[in-house]
Chain A
Amino acid sequence: MSEDPKHPHEAPPGGTETGPAGGGVVTPTPPATDPKAAADALAEFERQQKELEDKDLPPEPPKDAKPTAAPTPATDAKPAGKPAPKIESAEPAPSASGKMSTLGDPTEAPPVVVFDKVTKSYNVGQANEFTAIKDVSFRIEDYPGRGEFVSILGPSGCGKSTVIRLIAGLLPQFPQTSGTIRIGGKSITGPGPDRGMVFQDYTSFDNRSVLDNVAFGLECRGAVECELKHDGAVRLNNTISITTNTPHHFKAGATVKLTGLRDKSFEGTVVIVKTETNDRFTARQTGPDAKSGGGIAHCNVDTADRVERAKYWIDKVGLSVKRDADKYPHELSGGMRQRVAIARTLILQPKLILMDEPFGALDPPTRSRMQDNLVELWREQSPTIFFITHSIEEAVFLGDHILLFSNSPGTVLKTIRMPPPDRPSIAMQREPKFQEIVTGIRDVIDKLESSNRAGD
């Protein structure tokens, strides 16, 4: 370990107590890794990538492999002759700048996730101070109609979980010691249903059936509140048409309570007859033809609706509603439990899903089936997914963006762009090109790990 007391990156903008205040405590904050070894490894990896690219552009794979893949924005934007993965330097990556055309250009909306020189240290100022991640910076842009699949890869103990738990807002990782985290342009204050999380350990609530596990989030949410548009309530022939400011998920049969409308004859509970678009629905309500605005619609996600939605998601993740919905977690296999966990997260339709080695404890065949299912769901729902894995194959298969982490303290070493998966996991992993990419990344990680060991 080199004793480098003044690392150039130190002195965080916030001026928090990262450094030793009195100067008496020795806080060795060495560069992330032996710079030379890491640089060598990367140079070699980049050379290999270039070779691959030159050798042959992979022919566009037959599209019939997945006809069910629905309307994937990824496919529209994809130009013919998908190039091999490219590597960008991660360090001050000032946006991906649309280098890869797969995703199109990012929208004007604030990036989904921004990490700017984020450092997390424990026991700051004490003898046992430990820095889990140091100066981690990356930026996940908001692309039109589709979230990115970000794999976080790196040797064990490199702070992968720290990153994901900081995004989730979970203690004790949250909050960071210094640096800035922005989720959708805002800073976070704690965990929330907009950032679903799937853990490696099985976290199905043992006292709840599969159905009730999946419905848990909806149960907690209770009534959904939607503000009505100006003149958002129109009654004609005892039928009212209601337009809300934000998209809602009111379904036919659900009851909606209307309050605070200017025309008091609208107030009360109505039953939705039909959902026209995601912000407009019609319901029956007797009364004279009228128009009213303002107001709030409270939709009680009632039990029937909850059950129906839970069943939909149970089916979506590849479980059987008929056979599995009433089972309890102790009757499920590991793979089934993880499917429950995924359904439970997806039912809330979060924009951001965090997965901390969700398939780590599964056997290989189950694992690749789950990977395929996840890719399919991701295509359909297009959230941004952060996916931690130890498996390079998994990262390469799933991710269109790999954050390669180095060790103690963890930092982003490389951002690698991958073509998104276009075939089932097993088919894809058989390809020599795929294997070469995996080998390339493995070499980088091996070099990193050995250089670290040598340093310690």
Chain B
Amino acid sequence: MPTPPPKGSPRTPDKFVGGAQEPLPAAVPWWKRLRAEPTVAIRIALGAIGLGVLLLVWWYLTHGEVEDRIISPNKMPSPGEVFGSFGRLMDRQLGDNIIATLQRVFVGVGLAALVGVTLGIAAGANRGIASTIAPVVIFLRSVPMGALLPLTLLLFSAGERQKTMFLFLAIVPFVFSDSVKAVSLVPERYVETAQTLGASNRQIIQKVLVPLALPDIITSIRFQVGLALGYITLAEASVDAQTGLGVLITNSQREGPYEHVYLLLFVIAVLAFGIDLLLRTLQRGIFAWRKDL
């Protein structure tokens, strides 16, 4: 830059307050500031406290000798009993069942993502396609989860394919809608800018719309993975499957041990949390330019 900014006179320290440094006003602590985020350590500690309270309540309701308990062990075993039964759960091929369930989730969601995102991007870029697909999507969105099971059983009869299609049909309309929305939300200015830089429609989709919409699309898929884990246990529990976490839960409820019903819920929660954490870390790494993920 050839034009240097006009030079001001060098700063002289302000002289109007004499004497030593006064004590500085105290910073407002985070709990007094609306919407202020505490540090990670504090957040984890607070989470641990929340979990601790829950366990404490649970322990209180189920402590003592069997006859003295507030809730009978046939309904709710104590925390010690539940977590103590982990070894026996492992003996029931917990690992294999987890793998079976996760496999269904990933195939189902993967298929839904493939179809939903592709169609969603096409529909986001071309509103004619959106209008064409809209009736199907509205229909699928309003099909109750409980009705989707008999429907897929009718169409595919019990088996792996039925479970995959159940997940696919349950998830695809939501992935589609979120993808359309993500593409639509890319500001028109970006499209106009790309046009004046000579980008063709295809290039605008490839280089502008998709990359800018992708972080939000991935967020949508992330949520759907969490939901899918819930849906698939439902499908496994209600259809006579051989493997899967849902089968384990149903069998535990029917034949015991009851501890495993509770323990399996924890296993599912931990799995869901772990998968979400993994996906979110990946997402943050890939889309480093999005500071809000």
Contact = CB atoms under 8 A, between A and B. Distances in A.
A130 interface: no
A219 B197 CA distance: 10
B196 A197 contact: yes
A220 B197 contact: yes
B193 interface: yes
A195 B3 contact: no
Contact of B3 (A190, A217, A348, A424): A424
B135 interface: no
A49 B256 CA distance: 99
A376 B1 CA distance: 9
For the side of the interface on B, what is the size category? 20 to 34
A284 to B, nearest CB: 31
Contacts of A197: 192-193, 196
Contacts of B5: 365, 369
Nearest to A170: B192
Nearest to A66: B2
A201 B194 CA distance: 14
A253 interface: no
A207 B287 contact: yes
A77 B290 CA distance: 51
A449 B287 CA distance: 48
A199 B192 contact: yes
Given A206-B290, A207-B211, A373-B1, A199 B197 contact: no
Contacts of A219: 207
Interface string B254-293: 0000000000000000000000000000000001111100
A168 B198 contact: no
B93 interface: no
A365 B187 CA distance: 29
Contacts of A193: 196-198
B195 interface: yes
A328 B212 CA distance: 13
B76 interface: no
Interface string A174-206: 000000000000000011110111010101011
A191 B199 CA distance: 9
B3 A372 contact: yes
A196 B289 contact: no
Interface of A: 66, 68, 168, 170, 190-193, 195-197, 199, 201, 203, 205-207, 216-217, 219-221, 318, 328-330, 341, 344-345, 348, 354, 365, 369, 372-373, 376, 424, 426
Closest 3 CB pairs of A and B: A193-B198, A191-B195, A217-B197
Given A205-B207, A328-B288, 13 more contacts: A197-B196, A205-B211, A207-B289, A216-B207, A217-B199, A220-B194, A220-B207, A221-B198, A318-B1, A330-B291, A354-B196, A373-B1, A426-B6
24 contacts: A168-B192, A170-B192, A190-B195, A193-B197, A197-B193, A199-B192, A199-B193, A201-B189, A203-B187, A203-B193, A216-B207, A217-B198, A217-B199, A220-B197, A220-B199, A328-B288, A329-B289, A345-B197, A348-B198, A369-B5, A372-B1, A372-B2, A424-B3, A426-B6
